[in-house]
Structures are given as C-alpha cells and as structure tokens.
Structure 1
C-alpha cells in the first residue's frame, strides 16, 4: 500500500500547527513505525474535546484485545478547542486496517467504554487518513 506524505501542518508526533498536545501514550519503540494515522473529530468546545480524549484513554486501558500493531498516539486539540487530531503510530497501514475491520465502528473491541467513545455527545467524526511516517520521509531526503 503506497501512503501519501503527511500534510505540511504536521511537523512531528508532538508538533502540529495550530494545535496543542493534550495527552499521549508513550511510544513503543520495540517495532518500527510504518504508518501514521491522523484521526480527526470536531467537538463543541475545548471541554468536550478533553472529555472525549479522556474517554479514549479509559477505553484503551480497558481494551481486552489490544492490537499488536498499535505503537502509540498523541492527541492534539486545536487552539479554539473545536477539533481534535489523534496522531497515531502503527507498524503498518495493514495493521491499522485490520484493527479497524476487527472493531465496531473504529479501533477497539465492542465494549461499553468504546461505545461511549464512538457515541460521545458533542463529537463528530471528520476523517481517518493514513500517511508515511515522518522518519521515512526524512530518510529519503537525506
């Protein structure tokens, strides 16, 4: 699967123009990042954005079957509080496709915690896009 280059507003795992890091998981470095997934949702306000991200972390902590291809994630909230981007690192695009296919309306098992994430009041899914990791792009330039 050929992946596009990350958009120009993405400068790294913790650096997106117009966004501030809210929460993240420590990156797993036992496997190489082969795909970056940007998951974008719109929210009513900053309080809703933070509450939704917090609910994702609750769901991740209670996940009975975490996909081994997931390597880490950083959640960024836009300066106006009305958009969240999850910068998620995966071993491969295929791993992410597998995780989404196995889940119910996204990554994650069919649990009450994931149901809450997927039906959170004031949150509207915008998109999920897969990209080449920044390290691969930088290595090709050098």
Structure 2
C-alpha cells in the first residue's frame, strides 16, 4: 500500500502546527513505524476535547486485546479547543486496517470504547494514513 507524505502542518509525533500536545502513550516497544494515522475529532470546546482524550486513555488501559501493530498515540488539541488530532504510529497500514475490524474504531467492544465512540460533543471527521517521517523510520531501525 503506497501512502502519501504527512501534510506540511504535521512536523512529527509531538509537533503539529496550531495544536498543543495534550497526552501521549508509547513508544518504547522497539517496533519500526511503518504508518502514521491521523485521526481528527471535532469537539464542542476545549473541556470536551480534553475529556474525550482522557476517555481514550481509560479505554486503552482497559483494552483486553490490544492490537500488536499499534505503537503509540499522541493527542494534540487545536488552539481554539475545537479539534483533536491523534498522531498514531503503527507497524503498517495493514495493521491499522486490521485493528479497525470493520467497527469504525480501534478497540474491543467494551463499555469504555463505546463511551469514546459515543462521547457527547465529540465527532469523528477523518482517519488518514501516511508515511512516517523519513528521519523517524531511520531512527527506529538503528
């Protein structure tokens, strides 16, 4: 699967123009990043954005079957608080597709993940897969 390059406003895992990094998980797995997934969520306000991200971390912590292709996630909140971008690193695009499993979201069908998927004031607007930054790929391999 050929992936496009990241948009220019995304400089890396911790640097997205116009957004502030809020929370991160991983890396540290020693896995090579083969795909970056940008998940975009619109929110009513900054409090909702933070609460939604926090609910993702609750769901991640209680996940009974984490997908082995997931490496890390970095959640950025736009300066006006009305949008979240999750910069998620995966071993491959195929791993990400497999993790979705036709459910429209990553994660098992648990109460915590249903809360994330049906969070009041948060609406998913996009999921796009990209090539990881070249420097990142080389750093993981070395």
Question: What corresponds to 1:9 in structure 2?
Answer: 9
Check whether the contact 1:5–1:137 (CA below 8 A) recurs between aligned residues: no
Taking the aligned partners of 2:53 and 2:15, their CA distance within structure 1 comes to: 18
Taking the aligned partners of 2:28 and 2:130, their CA distance within structure 1 comes to: 18
Question: What corresponds to 2:116 in structure 1?
Answer: 117
Question: What does the per-residue CA deviation read over 1:73-123, in whole Å, with 9 as the maximum and x for residues that have no partner?
Answer: 000000000000000000000000000016x32100000000000000000
1:1-142 equivalences under 5 Å are 1-101=1-101, 104-135=103-134
Q: Give the gaps of 5 or more residues in structure 1.
A: none
Distance 1:28 1:138, change over 3 A: closer
SS at match of 1:58: helix
State the 1:31 CA deviation.
Answer: 1.1
TM-score, normalised to structure 1, is 0.93
Taking the aligned partners of 2:131 and 2:80, their CA distance within structure 1 comes to: 28
SS at match of 2:101: helix
CA RMSD of aligned residues (A): 1.5
Question: What does the per-residue CA deviation read over 1:47-75, in whole Å, with 9 as the maximum and x for residues that have no partner?
Answer: 00000000000000000000000000000
Give every structure 1 segment of 4 or more consecutive aligned residues whose post-TM-superposition deviation is greater than 2 Å.
135-139
Check whether the contact 2:33–2:137 (CA below 8 A) recurs between aligned residues: no
- For these two proteins, the number of residue pairs brought into alignment is 138
TM-score, normalised to structure 2, is 0.93
